Chains A and B, each alone.
Chain A
């Protein structure tokens, strides 16, 4: 449903993403992993329209959407959250969501998340702690038309029980048919939540497969921990 082909993006001399490709099906939770600087966020930014790729294509439900503006992509159903949650600071939680309804239509798959936000509906978004803001962002991203959901490090800054909650919410959203791309640093979180995983290193796709495949892949271990680890510790 979401197809990313050969995306490349450089900033000046720095090659952030190199010919990265993957495909996402409806209801699939695809993890994107990789050490720091692997280009994960850049890739998300390119897909969601905040950066233009130097090369490559993005297709949403068969339609070419490369280089579309972010708000246009959002209306077409490609939604996202950000590494540092971006909520409208001056607005209440309710109003944040109302904004999404205005921009992307009614409906959506935010139901389960909304249930958790109900007690703080009237709270001004800037007063919420990290977990609250992440939930607001998630709910906002799931309000209205959402076919593909890109989550950028949604578990950063959360405590364990909050991560479990997040995992549950992501699963329930996916079960309603939304394709989810989950970029994260948190390896256990990704391995637990995702159906499939793509590993990026230095901008290119290093490995692809199920969590079990990827966990044992020596190349992946090397990318995260270095050659010596493989040599000394074995797998």
Chain B
């Protein structure tokens, strides 16, 4: 029994780290623009699907495919930002509009992918080969081994980005006070583009690494969006550390729920947890960086 739980925990934590990275991406966009990107999961999906396409249809080596996928992810993010978000920004719609807009984008992206690549799940081999890794009683796909270093690198990279680069600092400033940021000359449009581009690229990379474990298909975006969002809220929307912690929690809950309670009801359990989190701790565990500003 301990072996089973151990296995569930390990895989849950590792997948959870990935959710955490997705949550950070959601947070990046939220901090820069106050928008919740409902299409975030589709960025992840695009990373996986594009890599599959390059490997399987264009017969590229893995690193070429992965790089291309990440670049495409960034590109899609930028296009979405310029074509949809920026156009909307012109007439300053209420935040609710952006929710529907990104939701519409997610539908467009997933359906286009469906028409291009069909409805079957797609997969490619784990990078280190198909042989599973065995640690004591725990046996899992070798891909999991790569997840940890990937996430650490990504998180470290993002942390430095926010701490040391001009753009990163500008994003943090904008998160705390967007009007103040604008007054000191920070260009919201540029910030927004960077946020979407960066989110797109990082999410795509997550998709690249996750696909050998979870497979990918046109429809998985929604699931990642919901879980990424759940992780983000659990930790506090916009809060970097919180996103990671939130991701870990969601990953573990999902894994334990599937393994111990029922794999059929896996989604239901995870999403029930999501709802409970939303209701119980809307500000998250670490309270969010950006308070919802209400002026009376």
Contact = CB atoms under 8 A, between A and B. Distances in A.
Contacts of B287: 12
Interface residues on B, range: under 10
A82 B295 CA distance: 9
Contacts of B296: 41, 44-45, 50, 82-83, 152
A12 B291 contact: yes
Contacts of B291: 11-12
Interface in B254-296: 287, 291, 295-296
Contact of B295 (A11, A12, A44, A84): A84
Interface string A80-124: 001110000000000000000000000000000000000000000
Interface in A112-160: 152
A54 to B, nearest CB: 15
A44 B295 CA distance: 12
Contacts of A82: 296
A45 B287 CA distance: 22
Contacts of B295: 83-84
B117 to A, nearest CB: 46
Nearest to B294: A50
A11 B296 CA distance: 15
A87 to B, nearest CB: 14
Interface residues on A, range: 10 to 19
Contacts of A50: 296
Contacts of A12: 287, 291
A19 B109 CA distance: 55
A116 B266 CA distance: 63
A140 B296 CA distance: 17
A50 B291 CA distance: 16
Interface in A30-78: 41, 44-45, 50
Contacts of A44: 296
Nearest to B287: A12
A152 B295 CA distance: 12
A44 to B, nearest CB: 8
A41 B291 CA distance: 18
Contacts of A84: 295
Contacts of A152: 296
A45 B296 CA distance: 8
Nearest to A45: B296
A133 to B, nearest CB: 15
A57 B295 CA distance: 23
A36 to B, nearest CB: 14
A50 B296 CA distance: 9
A39 to B, nearest CB: 13
Interface in B164-191: none
Contacts of A11: 291
A113 B271 CA distance: 52
A50 B295 CA distance: 11
A152 B296 CA distance: 9
Nearest to A51: B296
A140 to B, nearest CB: 15
Contacts of A41: 296
B51 to A, nearest CB: 43
A45 B291 CA distance: 17
A144 to B, nearest CB: 21
12 contacts: A11-B291, A12-B287, A12-B291, A41-B296, A44-B296, A45-B296, A50-B296, A82-B296, A83-B295, A83-B296, A84-B295, A152-B296
Interface of B: 287, 291, 295-296
Interface of A: 11-12, 41, 44-45, 50, 82-84, 152
Given A12-B291, A83-B296, 10 more contacts: A11-B291, A12-B287, A41-B296, A44-B296, A45-B296, A50-B296, A82-B296, A83-B295, A84-B295, A152-B296
Q: What 4 pairs between A and B have smallest CB-CB spacing?
A: A82-B296, A45-B296, A83-B296, A41-B296
